[in-house]
Structure 1
Amino acid sequence: MAYLLSREAFQQELHGQRTDLFTLRGAGGLQVAVSNYGARLVQVAMPDGQGGLVDVALGYDSLQGYLDGQLSMGAFIGRWAGRLRAGQLHAPGGCILQLPVNGGQHHQHGGPLGSRFQVFGVTEVQADAMVLTHTFRTEDDAVPGTVRLTLYLQVTPDNALHMDWMAEVADAATVFNPTGHAFFNLAGAGSTLGHTLQLPASRYVPLAPDVCPTGALASVQGAPFDFRQPRSVADATAMAHEQLARAGGLDHYLVLDDAVASTAAAAPAATPGLRWAAQLSEPASGRAMQVWSTAPGVQVYAGHGLKADPARDLGRGAGQGTWLWKPGDGICLEPMEYPDAPNHPAFPAQWWLPGDVVRGAIVYRFTG
C-alpha cells in the first residue's frame, strides 16, 4: 500500500523561496509526487493489481527528511552528474578551472550548490504534468556559462514517467550533464538484491583508487557489470572483483551499445534519440521498470551507501510506518554522459556555446 503523503509537510520557505509537493496522476493509475526542492521524485506509486498503489521508489515523508537525509535522494542532478576529479574542469584551449569540492576531494553531483540543493520554479501544473525551471549560475558551481533549464514531467497513460529537459546556454561555453537520482525498489520494501537487471552494455568505465575513471574502457565479459542478459543484482555484487572493492560496491558507468532494441516493448513516443537503456524486474511481484534515455550510458548504483543510519536512512515504505534503509534496499539507474568526461581526451565531452539549446530525456515505464 502506498504511503499517504502530507502536502503541508513539504511546504516551507527555503532560500527565500516556497517549497511544495505536487502529485501527478496518469490515466493508467501511476501516481508520482514531486517536490520542487531539487525537482525530487518523492514518491512513485504504481497500481498493485488489486485496486491499490504500491511505492516503488524510496523517499522521506517531509521536506525536513530530505534536508537531513541522503543528499541525492530522488533529486534531479546538475549541472554535472557524477564526479569531476579533484574539482578540476579541463576547458577548451588548455585552461584548467578549479571548482568547489564536496563529498571528499572531488566536485560531485553539481557541487555543494548543485541543483539537488536548489528550489526550482514551478511554471505550470496539470493533473498529469508539470513544468519546473532552474538557472545554473557560475557563482554557484564555478562552471562558466549561465544555463536556463526547463524540466517537463509527465505521467502518461502507459504508466510511464517522462522527464524531458531543455537547457539554454546564455553567455559562455559550458558543459551540461544532468540525470535523475531516484532509488527504486520494485518490491515496495526490503532488499533489491533479488531484483534482476538487464542493460545492453558490453563495456564499462573502470575506476582508479580515487573512484574517478581511469580514462579507459573495459569489457564486461566475466565481470560483475555484465547485464547483457537478465541477471540478479545479488549475483553481480557477490563476485570478488577489484572494482567492486574499490567503489565499495556496484557503482559503475556502463556504456550502452549502439543500435540495440528492447525486447520488452516498443519505444515511448518522446524526445528524438531516445533509446532503451535498462530493465529492472522484481520476480516475486512481477513488477518491472523499463528505462529509456538519450544518454550514451547508465551509472548503476546498488545502494551500498544506505547504512541503516537513523539520521539519514529513516524513510517511509515498510507498511504505513517507517523503514530504516540498509545497504541494497534501493537501486539507482542514472542515465548520463561519460563520468568525468571533460578531463579525459578519450571520452566524448561536449562544450556547449552561447545560444545552444541542449535537449534530453529519461523515461521510466512501469509494468506488472
Structure 2
Amino acid sequence: MNLSTKLIALALLTGSLTMSACTSNKKEESSEAKPGITKAAYGQLPDGQSADLYTLRNAEGMEAKITNYGGIVVSLTAPDKEGQFADVTLGFDSLNTYATKNPYFGALIGRYGNRIAKGKFTLDGKEYSLPVNDGPNSLHGGKKGFDKVVWTATPVEGNEPALKLAYTAKDGEEGYPGTLNVEVTYTLQKDNALRIDYQATTDKPTVVNLTNHSYFDLSAGKSSDILGHELILEADRFLPVDQTLIPTGELKAVSGTPFDFTKSSVVGSRINDTADTQLRYGKGYDHCWVFADSSRSLKSIATVYEPTTGRVMTVSTTEPAVQFYTGNFLDGTLTGKEGRVYKKRTGFCLETQHYPDSPNQAAFPTTTLKPGETYRSTTVYTFTTRK
C-alpha cells in the first residue's frame, strides 16, 4: 500500500470513528429525552418515617418531582416562549420544612378539601365532630389531613410516566366516619400536562372532597407576585362567604362584580377593591367559583396567561367548582426554594373541588360517598406558550 492509499484509508477510518462518536452522542441525547420515572431518598420525617422523591420526565423535557409524603408536587417545570424550562410552583428545599411549616404547598388534600363550618356535620342522623384548625372551622381534612401522611407509592413506567399513590384512612381518623381507601395517580403527559386522577371507596357512609393545593407562579420567580397574570374562569357564579369564609348558601352571579373572569382579566386589576365586602372577607380572592357546565365530563374551566414569559396554563376537570386563592395569607415569614421569600400573593391556587361546607348545606351538590360506590375525579394542568 503506497503513502496516498494509506492516507485515504486513515482518513476513512477517522471519519468512521468520528461518525460512530456522533451516533453515540445522538443516542445519549435521545436517551436523555426519553420519558421515565426515577426514585431517590428524600429524607426522614420528625416521627422517623422515611419519604422518597420521584421524578417524572416526559419526552419534551418537562419534569414533575413528587414526594410520597403528602403526595406533594415539589416542583413542576414548564417551558416559556423561548423554550426555557423553569419551575412554576412554590415550595421548599427540604422535606423537614414541608413537614413543619407547609401551608399546603403542592399537597394532596383530604378527606375533605376546603372548610366545614364549626368542625361539625350530620350524616344519616349522626353528628360528627372534626378538629378545628382554621378559626372556628375545620380546613383541608383537619390537623393531620392527607397532606401530612406517607402514601404508598408505585411508579408506573410507560410513554407517559405515572406515579400511583395509595392511602387508607381509618374509620374515625380526624373525626370522619368510614375506612376510606384512596388512590391518586399523577401522570406526566406527552403534551406537557400533569394529570391527576383520584379514586376512593368506603365501608360506611362518609364525605369526600379531594383536591391538590399547588401554588403556581407562571413567571417562575421573575415577578414579585402573581397580580400581573391574566385569568379566564368558565364560571358564571361564585359562592359568597361569611367572615370566617364559610359559604352563605347563595350562588351569586359574577356579572358586574370583581369576581367576573368570564373574559380575560388581570388578576390584580380589582383585587384591592375595599368597597367589596367579599374581597375584604377573603383579603383578596379566596372563593369558590361554580362552572356554567356542571357535567361530570372533563372540561376546560380556567386559563392563566403570564405575559412576560408567555406561559399559559389551562385547567380541565370533572369537578363542579374551583377555589381560586391568591396567596393572601402568605406574609413573608416563609423562605422557599433557592432562598425566595414568599410574600403576600407570591402564588395562586386553582383547587378543583366540590363546594365548601357541602355536608352542612343541603342545596349544594352532595359529597356523600356510600359503600359500593366509587369516588372518581380528574384534573389536568396543561402548559403551553403564547408569543
Using the alignment, how far apart are the partners of 2:217 and 2:145 within structure 1?
26
Number of the residue aligned with 1:266 = none
SS at match of 1:65: helix
SS at match of 2:340: strand
Number of the residue aligned with 1:3 = none
Superposed, 1:194-233 pairs within 5 Å as: 194-233=228-267
The question of whether the paired residues in 2 share the 8 Å contact of 1:12 and 1:20 is answered with no
Using the alignment, how far apart are the partners of 2:257 and 2:310 within structure 1?
27
Using the alignment, how far apart are the partners of 1:50 and 1:287 within structure 2?
10
Task: Report whether the alignment pairs 1:126 with 2:157.
Answer: yes
Using the alignment, how far apart are the partners of 1:173 and 1:234 within structure 2?
42
Number of the residue aligned with 1:276 = 300
The question of whether the paired residues in 2 share the 8 Å contact of 1:205 and 1:216 is answered with yes
Using the alignment, how far apart are the partners of 1:157 and 1:207 within structure 2?
39
**TM norm structure 1:** 0.89
Deviation digits for residues 39-82 of structure 1 (CA, Å, limit 9, x no counterpart): 00100111345564211111111101212323311101001000
Deviation digits for residues 75-102 of structure 1 (CA, Å, limit 9, x no counterpart): 0100100010000112133x32211111
SS at match of 1:68: helix
Task: Report whether the alignment pairs 1:71 with 2:71.
Answer: no
Task: Report whether the alignment pairs 1:146 with 2:167.
Answer: no
Number of the residue aligned with 1:178 = 210
RMSD: 1.8
Deviation digits for residues 132-165 of structure 1 (CA, Å, limit 9, x no counterpart): 1111223321111111111111111100001002
Number of the residue aligned with 1:267 = none
Match of 1:60 among 74, 92, 95: 92
The question of whether the paired residues in 2 share the 8 Å contact of 1:9 and 1:63 is answered with no
Number of the residue aligned with 2:379 = 362
Greater shift, 224-233 or 66-75, is seen at: 66-75
Match of 2:129 among 72, 75, 98: 98
* Structure number with higher helix proportion: 2
Greater RCO structure (CA 8 Å; 6+ sep): 1
Using the alignment, how far apart are the partners of 1:48 and 1:235 within structure 2?
24
The offset of 1:221, in angstroms, is 1.3
The offset of 1:281, in angstroms, is 0.8
SS at match of 2:208: coil
Task: Report whether the alignment pairs 1:10 with 2:45.
Answer: no
Q: Which amino acid in 1 is paired with 2:292? A: D
Greater shift, 26-35 or 96-105, is seen at: 96-105
Deviation digits for residues 209-265 of structure 1 (CA, Å, limit 9, x no counterpart): 2221111111111212110001111013032311011122210000000279xxxxx
Cα 1:51/1:230, change in 2 over 3 Å: closer
SS at match of 1:119: coil
Using the alignment, how far apart are the partners of 2:45 and 2:361 within structure 1?
41
The question of whether the paired residues in 2 share the 8 Å contact of 1:27 and 1:156 is answered with no
Matched positions, count: 342
The offset of 1:103, in angstroms, is 2.7
**TM norm structure 2:** 0.84
Structure 2 gap segments, 5+ residues each: 1-38
The offset of 1:283, in angstroms, is 1.1
Q: Which amino acid in 1 is paired with 2:44? A: Q
Cα 1:63/1:9, change in 2 over 3 Å: farther
Number of the residue aligned with 1:21 = 53
Using the alignment, how far apart are the partners of 1:9 and 1:73 within structure 2?
20
Q: Which amino acid in 1 is paired with 2:281? A: R
Q: Which amino acid in 1 is paired with 2:104? A: S
Number of the residue aligned with 2:24 = none
Cα 1:138/1:280, change in 2 over 3 Å: same
Task: Report whether the alignment pairs 1:85 with 2:109.
Answer: no
Q: Percent identity?
A: 37
SS at match of 2:281: helix
Number of the residue aligned with 2:169 = 136
